Amino acid sequence: MSSSAATPWKQLLFSSIQANSHLKNSSYFQLATVTSNGRPSNRTVVFRGFQDESEKILINTDTRSRKIDDLKHCSFAEICWYFTDSWEQFRISGPVDVIDGTNPDPLKLQQREKSWFACSLKSRLQYMAPAPRLPSLSEQHTKTPSLDPSIGPVPAFCLLLLDPDQVDYLNLKSNERLIFTSGLSVDGDKFWTSDKVNP
């Protein structure tokens, strides 16, 4: 059985990505987290694909960004992904695994490195820029960092793996809404159920 067949919402998502692939913004979605003081925090990130054949969603980020602090406080996040041509919205929530260079798992570090080399050189250079949210100094912008393209991830590069446990799918053209919820079988295997609900 293919991953898409085992994960019904994933096939819907693939179809939406394909139907909207001519739009540059179709690979962007919003990622919402919760700050340490309980306030919501939201930003736009880039879809980097799925981890191998799994349903885990890859997101690249900077270890110095606010979302890392948020995820240390509360490891759950939610994606909101709207496709403008097909009028479809996916809200995908679940725990997020933060994989930076200090992660003790060699397989996770291998995935981080794989994600690093999948980035363009221009994207990689962003992780050598001055720390986000600090006051901007004019002289910082005159320095162009250099990067050997064969060198692995810099310390600021971080991979996020969102492991979905609920997906809320809304199709505004067909006026259809489906809620997909994950569960565990007696053998400990993950499975999905779906419910059709009012939009």
Task: Tell me the pLDDT band of 41, cut-offs 50, 70 and 90.
Answer: very high
Nearest Cα residue to 130 out of 142, 117, 147 = 142
pLDDT in tens, 141-171: 556 677 888 999 999 999 999 999 999 999 9
What the block records as the tokens of 78 is 């939610």
161 in any annotated domain? yes
- 39-48, 105-114, 117-126, 137-146: the lowest-pLDDT one: 137-146
What digits encode the pLDDT tens for the residues 72-93?
999 999 999 999 999 999 999 9
Q: What Rg value do the Cα atoms of the chain yield, rounded?
A: 18
Task: Please tell me the distance from the alpha carbon of residue 2 to that of residue 5, in angstroms, as a whole number.
Answer: 5
pLDDT for residue 4: 40
Q: Is 66 exposed, middle or buried (0-12, 13-18, 19+ CB in 10 A)?
A: middle
Residue-level pLDDT at 2: 34
Does residue 75 lie in a domain region? yes
Distance, CA of 75 to CA of 68 (rounded, Å):
9
**What angle (nearest 5°) sits at the alpha carbon of residue 82, between those of residues 190 and 87?**
110
**Residue 168 in domain:** yes
Number of domains in the chain: 1
Mean pLDDT of 54-80: 97
User: Which domain covers residue 62, as residue numbers?
Assistant: 3-132+148-197
Q: Kindly report the backbone phi and psi dihedral angles of residue 118, in degrees, each rounded to the nearest multiple of 5, phi listed first.
A: -75, -15
Question: What is the CATH classification number for the domain harbouring 36?
Answer: 2.30.110.10
Task: Collapse the DSSP code of 110 into the 3-class scheme (helix H, G, I; strand E, B; otherwise coil) and give the result.
Answer: helix
Q: Does 18 map to a domain?
A: yes
